[in-house]
Structure 1
Amino acid sequence: MRAPLSWLREYVDLPAGVTGRDVAARLIAAGLEVETVEQLGADITGPLVVGRVLAIEELTEFKKPIRYCQVDVGTANGTGQPQNIVCGATNFRVGDKVVVVLPGGVLPGGFEISARKTYGRVSEGMICSARELGLGDDHGGILVLPPEHEAGTDAIELLELVDEVLDIAVTTNRGYCLSMRGIARETATAFGLPLRDPALLDVPAPNDSGYPAEVADPAACDRLVVRTVGGLRPEAHSPIWLQRRLQKAGMRPISLAVDITNYVMLEIGQPLHAYDRARLSGPIGVRRARPGEKLTTLDGAARALDPEDLVITDGNGPIGLAGVMGGADTEIADATEEPLVGQAQGTTDIVLEIAHFDPVSVARTARRHKLASEAARRFERGVDPQAAAAAGQRAVDLLVLLAGGKADPGVTEVAADRAARAIVIPADHPDRVAGVTYGRETVVRRLQEIGCDVTGTDELTVTVPSWRPDLTDPNDLAEEVIRLEGYEALPATLPRPPAGRGLTERQRLHRRVGRALVGAGYVEALNYPFVGPAALDALGLPADDARRRVVRLVNPLSDEAPALRTTLLPGLLEALRRNHGRGSQELALFETGLVFRPTGNEAAPARLPVTVRPSDEEIAGLNATLPQQPRRVATVLAGAREPAGWWGPGRLADWADAVESARTVARQAGVELIVENDRHAPWHPGRCAALFVVVDGTKTLVGHAGELHPRVIKALGLPAGTCAMEADLDLLGRAATGPLSAPSISSFPVATQDVALVVDAAVPAAEVEAALRSGAGELLESLRLFDVFTGEQVGPGRKSLAYALRFRAPDRTLTAEEATAAREAAVAAAVERTGAVLRG
């Protein structure tokens, strides 16, 4: 909302020295968002005057029209003689009043004017267009003034070129500030000055002689006022002061009747619409649209109406979208338009429709038809229902004053009785909310300043004013007291969390996993939890894969991703592809988050009231409609895992790195990961590992890791050899035997024994490792595979696995005999369980 300071002063007697920035500071302190204070005309210097065109000489020797004009500027030039001015515009004629800047004047943008020779003539000044004066973007011709202004009159004052305009970003709960009335009320309160309310007008009582009207849906339109003005002069134009106020407020002047309705909307905050009475047929009505009805709106678009649309009608059908935009068939006719048969040229009789519409209905209609009008903007934020009659009277008065019309004594009003909203609030409630002692007198005074009627002593009954639909509960009233007393007066106090509460074990595991993966070189990537069939197809998932059973959204953000994800991989792989395409070659990303697996029992939840807390049974019913939401962790890798440098050639990421990322996660849960070969999309069938842990004594699959299938890599546009891991974080947490404890560090030396075992090539190294661990006993501190060898020395179909075994006792130094015995026991277990042969 743009609020000119000169207009604001009409309602609040601000001291002469108060500037726009002073007003902005007070309004900001009161909670309004003043974005800018625009200084209009600050760079304009006179003489800038009204001139009367005395003569025009057409210069025909040039390629474009050039005119040499004599212009009477009164005594502004010090001589009283006409000024000779060269001008290229052709939209004015002899006798017209124009705006002339004389030599020595400066126009907006620092454009200095001087007498100069051009087109073979000396031009003593310039005749100005609207854009050259900073009045708008119209540069199609010269600004022609009404004939009543005398030559030599100061145009800077006449056109109100110097002003300050406050640009205020009005939040959705402060709709009353989309009007000069609302901003003036806030300004008066901020400065402690009285307010001249523009809505306080003498309005005639409703009677039966007004234009007929009817409301079929009182819930959507609880007030409809209809006024009529006849005998208007079709040629009447908006005066300069009215046009300038509209322009400063960001609106374009159109015609007198339309300008008056826009002016009243800006002044009082009540949108209203003017109809040409000659184009109306029958009574004005308000109802829902009927199937198949259409309406051509003022923007020229033919619109198919929805049965939920609220429309204004006459005897022939819809003539406007209620609260959004009027129809083209009943718009005000300009004096230059072709008249209707039997009618005078231009509109002479006007019917004003002023109504209060349901905010939700208007908002839905505006969005349904993609019409963002100024009227809809106000209605959807809440308009004062009591202002309709005053707005109608203000528009009637202006039409009579400016267009020579005569007000019809008939006043039509259809209104549904609605009691004023009252809120009961303890007098010390704002004190308890703010942590500041305001006292009852301050609370009552501040509530009265915003228009509330307050009664009571310790418990206040506050009747909310009709223009504040956002005040609905005690906390809203407390906020009003706090903001008017000043947010800067609130003390800085730290919240005191209750003792004994902290992170759950699930949350702690989530954080440990994130820290561990970051420490291993991974970067966290948070992705949207939406997925589409194309992404699942690219992963190569079989038709019966459980990950294809998705939970679809009723209102998805994108038709390409209409469901909730069942796996973290699509989002992570898309992030990897995007980053690789932008030049990042070595990538290691991870994500922890929820996936959504439908149970088949999902149903649309029942709508619960928001006024009371739902019962435990209702909450349980809501939870029963939700899909399963396990928390998972996933990693993806591409490019070099170990970069090349002076230390060596480097190494590309492979399936083993994906498996190691799973082991990193498992270590944070304190569980041992069991790794086995598997075939599972979207991984390469020969480079895919199934990840198991023991949960409640049962070996349980928790995820997969390895290199992605080449077809998946090609379909998703990923780098060659991209690897990935995904695991169920909740299952890993369940497998944990208890809280993690710090490792004990022995002060005694370690005894290292190496062993090389020859096994069949099909025997997994993990199986050999498990056998060695079981046989080595409690003295085994760690076991590491450091070499795999195949060749003629071990025979065809065989492989040699070399392990380093570290033994240590917590209470003594191991002897060579004890370490050797433990090693031999480990070898014996491996020989028995895997058929291994000790390599010499």
Structure 2
Amino acid sequence: MRAPVSWLTEYVEGVPVATGREVAASLVRVGLEEEALHGGGIAGPLVVGRVLDFVDEPQKNGKTIRWCQVDVGQNGQRVSEGTPQGVVCGADNFTVGDLVVVVLPGAVLPGGFAISARKTYGHVSNGMICSAEELGLGSDGADDEHGIVVLQRLLGDQDAANLTPGDDAIELLGLADEVVEVTVTPDRGYCLSLRGMAREYAHATGGTFADPAEMASAAPNTSGYAVRLDDEAPLNGREGCDRYVARVVRGVSASAATPPWMQKRLTQMGMRPISLAVDVTNYVMLELGQPLHAFDVSTLHGPIVVRRAQPGESLTTLDGVQRTLYPQDLLITDGGTAVLAIAGVMGGAASEVGPSTTDVLVEAAHFDPTSVARSSRRHRLTTEASKRFERGVDPDVTGIAAQRVVDLLAEFGGGVAEEGVTDVDHRPARPRLDLDPSLPARLVGLPYSHDEVVETLREIGCDVLEMDGAGPKTPTLSILPPSWRPDLTNGPDFAEEVVRLRGYDQIPSLLPRAGSGRGATHGQRVRRVVANTLAGQGFVEVLTYPFVSEKNHDDLGLEANDPRRTTVRIANPLSDEAPLMRTSVLSTLVEALRRNVSRGARDAAVFEVGLVTRPLWEPQAAPVPGTDRRPDDVTLAQILDAVPPQPRRVAFALGGDADPAGWWGPGRAADWTDAVGAATAIASALAVELVVVPDEHPPWHPGRCARLELADGTLVGHAGELHPKVVAALGVPSRTCAAELDVDVLTVASDVTVQARELSTFPVAQSDVALVVDETVSAAALESALRQGAGEMLESISLMDIYRGDQVGPQRKSLAYRLVFRAPSRTLTTKEVNGLRDRAIATAATAVGAVQRGA
């Protein structure tokens, strides 16, 4: 929010003249954050110039410049008294005879930009023709963001006719005025006006606030323009519009221009002057904080009806965009049929005031913040009006703002206000709140007295009644917050105001004493182990958006009835190309892999730990809590119950070479064993035993896919090589491998106490064995049987070789294992080792029909 210092100080009396920097520092003390300081950084000569002639000169770089002859008069002339000056200009939004703003050599523009005569594009340019942005007025001060300021358009032909080349443009445009810009937080919507900022400046400086809203307004009567509030579907039980004021002004001169002082202030505030009716409504909005809208009465045929949108309705808004309306949108309509505006957001093009408008209907209304905010977000349309309504507008100033617009249209446009005044007022009574006056001191730790608390709350506009308490804990203050502060809803809010106005700088800086922490939860530790294990194996962690489309499912080769296609559709997606929540982390991870490969990363390995979404079989409607208070426990529980399940998964993918080539020899391409190996490494780090069995599961290759289970058969995930069709659809390297594991299952399985065996100091003994089994027997099943038969003396087992061929017969294979034995208290003898090995072979023979090779 911008505030010209000269305008701001009109509403604060008894304060010494201050610079923009001093005003900004005062506002910071009461909690407003300084954003920027505009204006006041220009040193002349900056003069009015008239374009006498120009020549368009195309350049080799494709740009066309204009070599202009400009009359800059004699006042402020520094180059050659009384003669036209040659100026190079890159803009083209002016013509011969236009009055422009010319900065001459010796001047300094905002930002310390010094101007001098210099040679450019083959000419010596004696100055520069200025744009609004170069003058610090903002890009809206010209016809477009790259155009220069044409004074006939900015000031109007009538006022521009009184200008002479050489006149001082600094005084003309108010460029000597400093403009303070601050950031307004969502709870301080009243500061989106000069009225609100002046109130805060008075608090900060001790000055007397002169409220611009303290003016007389016409009393409502029954002869005004007909208005009906007909909200049949209020949000959270609050009517979408609880006050609507309509005033009609007839006979406004179509040729009436906005007065220069008002144009100047609008320009300083970053708004572009348009026409008298529009400029007046914008000016009053900036002054009082009440958004207003002007309708052309000739386009209206019935009463104004405020209602919710109906299916199939649309509206072409003032920005020229045709918008499909949603049932929750609050609308302003003509007789309940033709849509005139989206309430509190933007008006429609069909009823806007134009160059021929003479009769104007002025709308000043109070709309529900939640309703406006949701309409603004649904249509991705943020306006000056919506910013104010969604933060809360003073409902008591509605009629005064309408009266102010009527008075200005009558004064500068020659209009006559109709006697009828419509004021449909459905506002509920504002409740009084109780406050223990000791609360600010107890929350902050500073000794605020009872009188200080009462005085501060009255200073911000609260009506404070001191009550007799029946006990030490009974509230003794009854407070009615001011109408412009809807954010004051409980005791801590009032305590914050006391602290803010008494000074945040009064709070001492104390180093807090850290309490003893409980450390990470088991789930957090598991996720950390998973991430560290994969990072240690060369994978890079990525973070992707959890949004997908049906095309992602198609690319992964999922069948039409695959449960992973059943997902949650987003009501208002970031992109129409990804309107679904993902059901698999792999579906978005492969896109990150593809992007890295397309940008030259030939060998890539990435992983992500994230949530997936499973739809509820019986969807539940979540309650929509208000923004004025914290939801209670019941409402929070209902919201959580309506949220679909979101299990946590880890997915990883690798393509290209797993081992790079070098002087040591050729590289090794990644294959399915790398994916399975990474998955088992995660399980090993968590002390979880995985069973690996063959499986067929999209998007993996049916012959190179492993199903990963716990010992009790619980599914953990899948790993292996992606199907060739999937690889082609995704555009990733051939033979790309991937895996996806259920982190929640691993978290539960690892949440057990691991009993570590005492380390043995005695040597190991190893024995190799080759066993022949049917092709259908998995290596995991054979290994499990060997472990069971070998007993507790078995320290480790590893698969060394797989052989298929004539020596073992068709549909048979030979698996060679190395068994490592160690006893905790002695050295094993050869006889003992052979006995343990034979027992393991016998168990395998019984369990899976294994036969020792060569026996």
One fold, TM greater than 0.5? yes
The CA distance in 2 between the partners of 1:650 and 1:153, in whole Å, is 78
| 2:463 aligned with 1:453 | yes
CA apart distance, 1:787? 3.5
CA distance in 2 between counterparts of 1:632 and 1:47 reads 65
Classify 1:245/1:714 alpha carbon distance in 2 versus 1 (closer, same or farther; 3 Å): same
Contact 1:207 1:411 in 2 (8 A): yes
2:796 maps to which residue?
Answer: 782
Within 5 Å, give how 1:75-90 maps onto structure 2: 83=82, 85=84
Give the number of the structure whose alpha-carbon radius of gyration is greater.
Answer: 1
The 5 Å alignment of 1:457-496 reads: 459-488=476-505, 489=507, 491-492=509-510, 494=512
CA contact (8 A) 1:226 1:351 kept: yes
1:773·1:780 contact (CA, 8 Å) conserved in 2?
Answer: yes
Q: Distance in 2 between matches of 1:639 and 1:351?
A: 69
Counterpart of 1:45, as a letter, is G
Take 1:790 and 1:292, find their aligned partners in 2: how far apart are those partners? 68
Corresponding residue SS for 1:201: coil
Query: In 1, Cα distance between the equivalents of 2:134 and 2:692?
Result: 78
Shift of the 11–149 alpha-carbon distance from structure 1 to 2, 3 Å rule, reads farther
Q: Distance in 1 between matches of 2:102 and 2:485?
A: 47
Match of 1:747, SS? coil
Task: Tell me by how many angstroms 1:155 deviates.
Answer: 4.8
* Identity over aligned pairs, percent: 50
2:367 aligned with 1:376: no
Paired residues in the alignment total 804
Residue 229 of structure 2 is aligned with which of 213, 216, 239?
216
**Partner of 2:537 in structure 1?**
520
Per the alignment, in what secondary structure is the counterpart of residue 710 of structure 2? strand
1:38 equivalenced with 2:54 (yes/no): no
Task: Pick closer, same or farther for the CA change 1:718–1:46 going to 2, 3 Å.
Answer: closer
- 1:709-765 CA distances to partner (integer Å, 9 max, x unpaired)? 212222222211111223334444554582234453222222333344455565543
| Cα offset, 1:181, TM superposition | 0.8
Q: 8 Å contact 1:48–1:105 — kept in the other structure?
A: no
- Answer whether contact 1:85 1:124 (CA < 8 A) is retained: no
Change over 3 Å in CA distance of 1:672–1:214 after alignment to 2: closer
**Does 2:332 match 1:311?**
yes
The separation in 1 between residues aligned to 2:812 and 2:326, in whole angstroms, is: 76
**1:663 is aligned to 2:680:** yes
Classify 1:490/1:421 alpha carbon distance in 2 versus 1 (closer, same or farther; 3 Å).
farther
SS of 2:10 mapped into structure 1: coil
In the aligned structure 2, how far is the partner of 1:167 from the partner of 1:483? 20
Structure 2 equivalent of residue 257 of structure 1: 277
Give the whole-Å Cα distance in 2 for the aligned partners of 1:103 and 1:666: 74
Q: Following superposition of structure 1 onto structure 2, how do residues 575-586 of structure 1 map, counting pairs within 5 Å? A: 575-586=592-603
| Aligned counterparts, 1:2-21, within 5 A | 2-13=2-13, 18-21=18-21
Cα distance in 1, alignment partners of residues 693 and 128 from structure 2? 89
What is the correspondence of 1:200-211 to structure 2 with a 5 Å cutoff?
200-207=214-221, 211=224
How big is the shift at 1:465? 0.9
Q: Write the mapping of 1:405-484 to structure 2, written as runs, cut at 5 A.
A: 411-456=421-466, 459-484=476-501
CA contact (8 A) 2:304 2:332 kept: no
Alignment partners' CA distance in 1, 2:845 and 2:600: 51
Once the two structures are superposed, residues 343-371 of structure 1 have per-residue CA deviations (whole angstroms, 9 ceiling, x without a partner) of xxx73x65533332333444455556665
Provide Cα deviations, 1:290-315, integer angstroms capped at 9, x if missing partner: 78888776556677777754215479
Report how far residue 524 of structure 1 moved: 2.7
Which letter maps to 2:281? T
1:389 aligns with 2:407: no
Alignment pair present for 1:722 and 2:723? no
Cα distance in structure 1, aligned partners of 2:745 and 2:690? 12
SS for the counterpart of 1:163 is coil
- Three-state SS of the structure 1 residue aligned to 2:209 is coil
Is contact 1:281-1:316 (8 Å) kept? no
Deviation at 1:372, TM superposition (A): 4.0
For 2:478 and 2:660, the matched residues in 1 are separated by: 73
Task: For residue 679 of structure 1, report the CA deviation from its aligned partner.
Answer: 2.6
Match of 1:645 among 638, 662, 669: 662
TM-score (norm 2): 0.80
What is the 5 A alignment of 1:294-305?
none
After TM superposition, the structure 1 = structure 2 runs for residues 785-796 of structure 1, keeping only pairs within 5 Å, are 785-789=799-803
Q: Does the 8 Å CA contact 1:69/1:86 hold for their aligned counterparts?
A: yes
Q: Which moved more, 1:82-91 or 1:517-526?
A: 82-91
In the alignment, the residues of structure 2 paired with residue 113 and residue 675 of structure 1 have an alpha-carbon distance, to the nearest angstrom, of 80
In 2 relative to 1, CA 620–134 (structure 1 residues): closer, same or farther, beyond 3 Å? closer
Cα shift at 1:667: 1.9
Among candidates 282, 291, 307, match of residue 271 of structure 1: 291
The residue identity in structure 1 corresponding to 2:632 is R
Residue 368 of structure 2 is aligned to residue 358 of structure 1: yes
Q: Would you say 1:573 and 2:590 are equivalent positions?
A: yes
Deviations 1:795-840 (A, max 9, x none): 7766554433322222233344433433343344445554322559
TM-score (norm 1): 0.81
SS of the aligned residue for 1:9 comes to helix
2: CA distance between counterparts of 1:270 and 1:463?
22
> Is 2:612 aligned against 1:613?
no
Alignment-mate amino acid for residue 261 of structure 2: W
CA distance in 2, matches of 1:126, 1:535: 55
For 1:109-120, what aligned pairs fall within 5 Å after superposition? 110-111=114-115
How far does residue 455 in structure 1 lie from its aligned partner after superposition? Answer: 2.6
Spell out, residue by residue over 1:464-494, the C-alpha distance to the aligned partner (whole angstroms, 9 max, x if none). Answer: 1111122223333233333334445364554
1:613-635 per-residue CA deviation (whole Å, 9 max, x = no partner) reads 345xx888777666554443333
Tell me which residue corresponds to 1:746.
Answer: 760
- Going from structure 1 to structure 2, the CA distance change for 1:217 and 1:498 (only over 3 Å counts) comes to farther
Distance 1:536 1:19, change over 3 A: same
Kindly tell me: are residues 112 and 224 of structure 1, through their superposed partners in 2, closer, same or farther at Cα, counting changes over 3 Å? Answer: same
CA contact (8 A) 1:43 1:110 kept: no
Q: How far apart are the structure 1 equivalents of 2:695 and 2:425?
A: 74
- Structure 2: gaps of 5 or more residues: 58-65, 88-93, 232-238, 468-474
Which secondary structure does the structure 2 equivalent of 1:632 belong to?
A: strand
- Quick check: 373-382 or 176-185, which moved more? 373-382
2-side partners of 1:692 and 1:262: how far apart? 67
SS at the partner of 2:428? coil
Aligned-pair CA distance for 1:179: 0.9
Q: Which moved more, 1:142-151 or 1:369-378?
A: 142-151
Task: Output the CA distance in 2 between the equivalents of 1:730 and 1:98.
Answer: 69
Aligned AA for 1:12? V
Q: Is the 8 A contact 2:607 2:650 kept in 1?
A: yes
CA shift, 1:246, in A, is 0.8
Tell me which amino acid in the other structure corresponds to 2:44.
Answer: T
Provide the C-alpha distance between the structure 1 equivalents of 2:68 and 2:616, rounded to a whole number of angstroms: 81
1:693 and 1:126 mapped to 2: Cα distance? Answer: 77
Task: Give 1:137's aligned residue.
Answer: 142
**Counterpart Cα distance in 2 of 1:127 and 1:799:** 87
Residue type of the alignment partner of 2:852 = V
Deviates more, 1:761-770 or 1:139-148: 139-148
Alignment-mate amino acid for residue 663 of structure 1: T
The alignment partner of 2:482 has SS state of coil
Paired residues for 1:807-826 under 5 Å: 807-826=821-840
Q: Per the alignment, do residues 455 and 86 of structure 1 end up closer, same or farther by CA in structure 2, a change over 3 Å counting?
A: same
Take 1:607 and 1:184, find their aligned partners in 2: how far apart are those partners?
Answer: 35
CA 593–741 in structure 1, closer or farther in 2 if over 3 Å, else same: farther
Q: CA deviation at 1:433?
A: 3.5
Equivalent in 532, 541, 544 of residue 558 of structure 2: 541
Distance 2:611 2:105 in 1: 73
Residue 342 of structure 1 aligns with which residue?
none
Match of 2:653 among 636, 648, 652: 636
- Change in CA separation of 1:474 and 1:829 when aligned onto 2, cut-off 3 Å: same
Report the RMSD for the aligned CA atoms in angstroms: 4.6
- Distance verdict in 2 for CA 1:551–1:146, change over 3 Å: closer
Alignment check: 8 A CA contact 1:751 1:807 kept: yes
C-alpha distance in structure 2 between counterparts of 1:614 and 1:324, whole Å: 33
